[in-house]
Structure 1
Amino acid sequence: MMASTRGKSALVIGIDFVNGYTGVSWLFFKEKMPARDPEVVAHWFSSLPKNNDRTKVPSKIHYDKETGEIKWGYNIPTNVQPIEWFKLLLLEEEDLPANLQDSSHIQRAREMMEEMGMTAIELVGDYLKLLWEHVISVIKAEQGRRLVLGTRFHVVLSIPAIWKDYARDRMRQAAERAGFFRSRLAGKTTLDFVSEPEAAAIATLPSLDNRGDLTIGDSFVVMDAGGGTVDIISYKIDSLEPIVVSECVEGDGALCGATFVDNAFENLLEQRVGRQAWRHMDSSDIKKMMNNEKQWEHGIKKDFDGSQELYRIDIPKKSKRGRVDIKAAEIRQVFEQCLSQIYRLLQKQLDDIKCCTKKPPKFKNQMEILQARGEKPWSAICRGATLSGAVGRRLTEPVMKVHARVSRLSYGWDTMPFFDPNIHDVRDRVWDDTVEDWLAENQVEWVIKRVSQASVPSSAAELMNLQGQNISTIEPKRYHYRQWFKVSEEGIRGCMTKIYFCRSENPPIRVDDTTHDHSTLEYNTSRPVQFMGIERVNRKLVSVWKYNFEVQVSGATLDIRITSQDGEVASSSLIVKTD
């Protein structure tokens, strides 16, 4: 039997599974070990040269109808049409932003999925299974089979800002299909989620620790320019030693990532070659041309700075065109189509920051863009996901702490306090036989509140005084409750708490048409009624069970623990819209 590693340790694996390319990083953590940069998987099977050692792998999958074989990533033959952009199929079509609903990428993916008679969960699960098996084999090859088998796994998946709760649950089902939770001697594999822009920030912000030009109150913007979407998030510095930040304003995003730059360049080539000549080439020819080391993917796309006047592109022989010369101005226009959208996205974020903090971000009226060279920016989200998982599981101390986040929704649960005519609606008044008094049903205690952007506080002290506006990540909040029973009752009793969410900037104190069911927590009292304490309520003796709700945000989830004097009663994790 393989013995598990001693003490509180884990192999934390961060997965940045997005529409264009997927990145994976990992690191072995022992309890309280200092945080260090995770290892990034950079070895992939590839049918094309120059791809097997890249930081990310394409989020593409292909099913061979004749052999039943499944190919994925770089290993898909160039002469077939793979399924891509299928991650977003986990969302219902009506829940996609308007610009995504009309996307030809998503429409094509949905058509191919339906043609195969598959569901989005099955499709994502198959891709994650192939990815997971490959990643574990890579880690075993680098660290040894014995260590991997003897260490429990903790996985963190990054999720887009636009996702709803049910899509997160579908992703969890896909992870289960992929074998993430397969029984292991080392212990149960756990899974958390982190929002993509926050993961990028977690990986990026520690580099600010050595800067000497930061002051408390400075704000800055972190942009994740991905393959499909560009996400943006902003922070304000609350403390310098250590660096503690809080989110300034709601994050944002747009569909203007690198995939659309690729499409624009391909359209430019088609125009220059001519539609008729272009049709003589098959998809394999076009893919090889786009992937050529000296042409687009590994050449112009990475190195373009406008200094070279002319670029010569070798066109496949089938087109009978030989070579095409493209001017720098034309290539600049290829990038401009996406850059103009990114600029509008950034400008809106800057305007929101000025409205919130009453001053522009760091460097005042001068815009300064900071970006590391090499592959590091490309792997930021998967590395941030790994670090987020280690911090969330208390395996390491964060180099940089996210003090508070801005929530897009309000979250709370139902309560039934004593009826107060000055506070409660008479429609909610109900008689309770146990305490022989009027209670108010249908009441909601909002533990996270969404407020208007203009009301976002400008200081950390104000943040801490606004219940719910800050989603604190430092210490859990505790809410104390009592459940009364008649002294004649006996045995363990079942309890139920409904969780609600609300999109309104001013959520109501009672359930109405603006509140929506999120989930239901079911749990039992920690001891039989006859062994509970006795107290007097309204001159009547009742048995009382005292319990607490402890809430804390970890990544993109709201962790809820129900505790009593006997220990933990139940726990649950809810997704929180914090971008």
Structure 2
Amino acid sequence: MAPSSADTGGGDNVIIVGIDFGTTYSGVAFTWSNKVERMEVITSWESELHSNADMEKVPTALAYGPQRALHWGYAIPFNLEQLRWFKLLLIDEDDLPDSVRNSSKVKEAREYLKKHAKTPVEVVGMYLRHIWNHSIQRVTETVSRNLVNFSKFHIIITLPAIWPAYAQGRMREATSHAGMLSDRIAGATELAFLSEPEAAALATLSDMEDRRDIKANDSFVVVDCGGGTADLISYDMVSVAPMRVKECVKGQGDLCGAVFVDEAFLDILKEKFEWKFKIPFECLDKKELRSSQSIPKIVLTSDDTKRTFDPVVKKIIGMVDEQVTAVREKKGKDPKRLGPRVTHIGDTIEVLQSRRSAPWTAICRGAVIYAATLRGLSPLSIEVKSRVARVSYSNCFNDYWKQEKHDVVDKSWNDDTQTWMAKSQMEWFLKIGDRINDGKKIRFSCARLFPTDITNINPCEAEIYSSSAPIPPKKFDVTTKQLCTVKWDSEIDITTLPTFTNQLGKVFYELLYDVEMTAVGGMPDFAVYHNGKRQGSKHVIIDYTTK
């Protein structure tokens, strides 16, 4: 028998889980509807070393042991070869910079997957399954089994803002592999994605709430320096109480996280090992140990350290300079504060950085704050009112030919409509730099003709394209990339559709439907509408496999 609402703490209970799936470390935070002012960060990891168990984050690492036993996080035995950096494998090789694509660590990760016949989505799913099961166990110990069983789950997973949108589709597939979206008594699990810099900003803002030195119209830059990426985002303070912000200028990001410092350090060690060196002290047997005159050493000079950090630090500082300049050009003044420890910016900008675990857990905590605010549950009054589009979005279609509007090279005859068309035209329903309100819905119409002698019209498809060009093109060109295909497995009696008759008297059934893009947390999502009704998610698939 199900417990009453009193047993579970009230009516529509929800448990909000924020997951920061990182390149090197991952973290999880959660809260629940009747105690939403209390946020918990998951710890108590399974570990080979007791000292690691209560860390706020866990290594993003997997390893196969004897009999194909799978180990993860801190619990990987020291003698096993580990799979790391596999988050970066969700991105197609062609979309990775040469420095990343050719990285020894990335190559090792690809070889590991090949050796064990796994895809990036599968290994991400395996890792998420472990971190999810551990997290739910800890949530249960905190809030009770009854509350977990009869509460809806709202999961927010953060992604780098610079990642292509197909990575979001792959992450959604991975969560399905992980069992995170399995059917539950309490109802369907809600899954959403949020950009990592926005999550970091929300956590930072929560720490700054009620400060008297923050005023409306202040601007500030948040710099999220992670394991794989560095992301920057700038905000204007719309109001202080309640705290409302809007994105000031288009954010920036690059693959220049801490893993590339590790890679540079490894390269320097390899250089030094090309020269004569003593065997490490621990490798000497007792006889050699007695005869050894000194402990073996590797000397790292200040130049070595500089070479290790400079490439990554210079990239980050360059992005900070560009972001500050963009804010200055738009606002006529410098931003008031900056998020990381950067010392060269000047006297007019204050640099702030929290201590202890706050910066390390900012992204998973910010994800929880976002979801709680979205549901109207958060005791905090922090809200991002609008964002700035980082890329342009469009559908590609054949338009009716107009001499004054179209290029003659695009002119093409359509046998079905018996008209001249302009092929491969772009209609940008969201352009780079446009303001986006959370939940903003943008629709475009689609039409398909079907011969009257067929009975099956499945599937219906609409291809979505993106462009990073400052001014998106009027027709398909090299700056345009296919983003995804919206596939609609329609359940429609074709004979109920309106008809179209061309000038030769040939009759077709005409299917009219709309594709809707919703911007949630800075990430695009899509839906299909027919006759004004939203089509069920089980009949709509967003396929990020591009041609």
- TM-score range (shorter-chain normalised) is 0.7 to 0.9
CA distance in 1, matches of 2:217, 2:265: 40
CA offset digits 1:400-429 (Å, max 9, x no partner): 332333333211224566554433445456
CA distance in 2, matches of 1:9, 1:527: 37
Higher relative contact order (CA 8 A, sep 6+): 1
Give the AA of the match of 1:386.
V
Given that residues 100 and 255 in structure 1 are in contact (C-alpha distance below 8 angstroms), is that contact kept between their aligned partners in structure 2?
no
After superposing the two structures, state which structure 1 stretch, 440-449 or 252-261, moved more: 252-261
User: Is the partner of 1:377 in helix, strand or coil?
Assistant: coil
Match of 1:343 among 317, 339, 350: 317
Match of 2:29 among 21, 25, 32: 25
CA distance in 2, matches of 1:317, 1:45: 39
C-alpha change, 1:565 and 1:172, in structure 2 (3 Å) is closer
Give the AA of the match of 1:552.
T
Alignment of 1:489-504 (within 5 A): 496-504=461-469
CA distance in 1, matches of 2:512, 2:192: 30
Given that residues 14 and 385 in structure 1 are in contact (C-alpha distance below 8 angstroms), is that contact kept between their aligned partners in structure 2?
yes
Once the 2 structures are TM-superposed, how far is the Cα of residue 544 of structure 1 from its aligned partner?
A: 9.3
Once the 2 structures are TM-superposed, how far is the Cα of residue 267 of structure 1 from its aligned partner?
A: 6.9
Match of 1:11 among 10, 15, 19: 15
C-alpha change, 1:275 and 1:447, in structure 2 (3 Å) is farther
CA distance in 1, matches of 2:139, 2:98: 40
Match of 1:552 in 2: 518
Residue 515 of structure 1 pairs with residue 515 of structure 2: no
CA offset digits 1:83-130 (Å, max 9, x no partner): 211211222323212331232322222233333333322322222222
Given that residues 373 and 383 in structure 2 are in contact (C-alpha distance below 8 angstroms), is that contact kept between their aligned partners in structure 1?
no
Given that residues 12 and 386 in structure 1 are in contact (C-alpha distance below 8 angstroms), is that contact kept between their aligned partners in structure 2?
yes
Given that residues 166 and 484 in structure 2 are in contact (C-alpha distance below 8 angstroms), is that contact kept between their aligned partners in structure 1?
no
Match of 2:441 among 470, 476, 481: 476
Once the 2 structures are TM-superposed, how far is the Cα of residue 341 of structure 1 from its aligned partner?
A: 4.8
Once the 2 structures are TM-superposed, how far is the Cα of residue 554 of structure 1 from its aligned partner?
A: 0.8
Give the AA of the match of 2:44.
H
Match of 2:138 in 1: 138
C-alpha change, 1:322 and 1:433, in structure 2 (3 Å) is closer
User: Is the partner of 1:125 in helix, strand or coil?
Assistant: helix
Give the AA of the match of 1:374.
R
C-alpha change, 1:377 and 1:262, in structure 2 (3 Å) is farther
Residue 406 of structure 1 pairs with residue 371 of structure 2: no
Once the 2 structures are TM-superposed, how far is the Cα of residue 39 of structure 1 from its aligned partner?
A: 1.6
Match of 2:48 in 1: 47
User: Is the partner of 1:252 in helix, strand or coil?
Assistant: strand
CA distance in 1, matches of 2:177, 2:38: 30
CA distance in 1, matches of 2:257, 2:509: 60
User: Is the partner of 1:235 in helix, strand or coil?
Assistant: strand
Once the 2 structures are TM-superposed, how far is the Cα of residue 56 of structure 1 from its aligned partner?
A: 0.3
CA distance in 2, matches of 1:256, 1:318: 44
Given that residues 249 and 356 in structure 1 are in contact (C-alpha distance below 8 angstroms), is that contact kept between their aligned partners in structure 2?
no
Residue 191 of structure 1 pairs with residue 191 of structure 2: yes
Alignment of 1:411-422 (within 5 A): 411-414=393-396, 419-422=401-404
Given that residues 229 and 256 in structure 1 are in contact (C-alpha distance below 8 angstroms), is that contact kept between their aligned partners in structure 2?
yes
Alignment of 1:194-233 (within 5 A): 194-233=194-233
Residue 148 of structure 1 pairs with residue 148 of structure 2: yes
Given that residues 153 and 189 in structure 1 are in contact (C-alpha distance below 8 angstroms), is that contact kept between their aligned partners in structure 2?
yes
Given that residues 485 and 529 in structure 1 are in contact (C-alpha distance below 8 angstroms), is that contact kept between their aligned partners in structure 2?
no
Alignment of 1:174-189 (within 5 A): 174-189=174-189
Match of 1:165 in 2: 165
Given that residues 194 and 385 in structure 1 are in contact (C-alpha distance below 8 angstroms), is that contact kept between their aligned partners in structure 2?
yes
Match of 1:299 in 2: none
C-alpha change, 1:524 and 1:491, in structure 2 (3 Å) is farther
Once the 2 structures are TM-superposed, how far is the Cα of residue 516 of structure 1 from its aligned partner?
A: 3.2
Given that residues 254 and 341 in structure 1 are in contact (C-alpha distance below 8 angstroms), is that contact kept between their aligned partners in structure 2?
no
Match of 1:78 in 2: 78
Alignment of 1:147-546 (within 5 A): 147-242=147-242, 243-257=244-258, 260=261, 264=265, 276-277=277-278, 279-281=280-282, 337=310, 339-362=313-336, 365-391=347-373, 399-414=381-396, 419-425=401-407, 427-428=410-411, 442-450=424-432, 469-473=434-438, 475-477=440-442, 481=445, 496-523=461-488
User: Is the partner of 1:45 in helix, strand or coil?
Assistant: coil
CA offset digits 1:455-507 (Å, max 9, x no partner): x5xxxxxxxxxxxx22222643455x586999x99999775433222232222
Match of 2:124 in 1: 124
Given that residues 493 and 528 in structure 1 are in contact (C-alpha distance below 8 angstroms), is that contact kept between their aligned partners in structure 2?
no
User: Is the partner of 1:192 in helix, strand or coil?
Assistant: strand
CA distance in 2, matches of 1:575, 1:213: 47
Give the AA of the match of 1:45.
E
CA distance in 2, matches of 1:8, 1:256: 40
Match of 2:340 in 1: none
Alignment of 1:565-576 (within 5 A): 567-569=533-535
User: Is the partner of 1:402 in helix, strand or coil?
Assistant: strand
User: Is the partner of 1:520 in helix, strand or coil?
Assistant: strand
CA distance in 2, matches of 1:374, 1:78: 27
CA distance in 1, matches of 2:189, 2:291: 52
CA distance in 2, matches of 1:523, 1:20: 37
Give the AA of the match of 2:250.
V
CA offset digits 1:313-356 (Å, max 9, x no partner): xxx99998569899998998699645555433422332333344
User: Is the partner of 2:186 in helix, strand or coil?
Assistant: coil
Given that residues 217 and 238 in structure 1 are in contact (C-alpha distance below 8 angstroms), is that contact kept between their aligned partners in structure 2?
yes
User: Is the partner of 2:356 in helix, strand or coil?
Assistant: coil
Once the 2 structures are TM-superposed, how far is the Cα of residue 76 of structure 1 from its aligned partner?
A: 1.7
Taking structure 2 as the reference length, what is the TM-score of the superposition?
0.77
CA distance in 2, matches of 1:61, 1:206: 33
CA distance in 2, matches of 1:564, 1:532: 11
C-alpha change, 1:200 and 1:431, in structure 2 (3 Å) is same
CA distance in 1, matches of 2:292, 2:163: 43
C-alpha change, 1:188 and 1:321, in structure 2 (3 Å) is farther
User: Is the partner of 2:33 in helix, strand or coil?
Assistant: strand
Give the AA of the match of 1:560.
F
Give the AA of the match of 2:165.
D
CA offset digits 1:235-266 (Å, max 9, x no partner): 23344443121241332234242773698499
User: Is the partner of 2:235 in helix, strand or coil?
Assistant: strand
Query: Structure 1 regions of 5+ residues with no counterpart?
Result: 283-315, 451-455, 457-468
Give the AA of the match of 1:412.
S
Given that residues 261 and 309 in structure 2 are in contact (C-alpha distance below 8 angstroms), is that contact kept between their aligned partners in structure 1?
no
CA distance in 2, matches of 1:108, 1:221: 35
Once the 2 structures are TM-superposed, how far is the Cα of residue 184 of structure 1 from its aligned partner?
A: 2.4
Match of 2:64 in 1: 63
Once the 2 structures are TM-superposed, how far is the Cα of residue 194 of structure 1 from its aligned partner?
A: 1.9
Identity of aligned residues (%): 31
Once the 2 structures are TM-superposed, how far is the Cα of residue 208 of structure 1 from its aligned partner?
A: 3.6
Query: Structure 2 regions of 5+ residues with no counterpart?
Result: 284-288, 338-345
User: Is the partner of 2:45 in helix, strand or coil?
Assistant: coil
CA distance in 1, matches of 2:304, 2:391: 41
Given that residues 513 and 528 in structure 2 are in contact (C-alpha distance below 8 angstroms), is that contact kept between their aligned partners in structure 1?
yes
User: Is the partner of 1:84 in helix, strand or coil?
Assistant: coil
CA distance in 2, matches of 1:152, 1:169: 23
CA distance in 2, matches of 1:317, 1:207: 56
Once the 2 structures are TM-superposed, how far is the Cα of residue 57 of structure 1 from its aligned partner?
A: 0.6
Taking structure 1 as the reference length, what is the TM-score of the superposition?
0.74
User: Is the partner of 1:46 in helix, strand or coil?
Assistant: coil
Once the 2 structures are TM-superposed, how far is the Cα of residue 430 of structure 1 from its aligned partner?
A: 5.6
Give the AA of the match of 2:429.
V
CA offset digits 1:39-91 (Å, max 9, x no partner): 21021122124211110011112211x34222211112234332211211222
RMSD: 4.6
Once the 2 structures are TM-superposed, how far is the Cα of residue 379 of structure 1 from its aligned partner?
A: 0.5
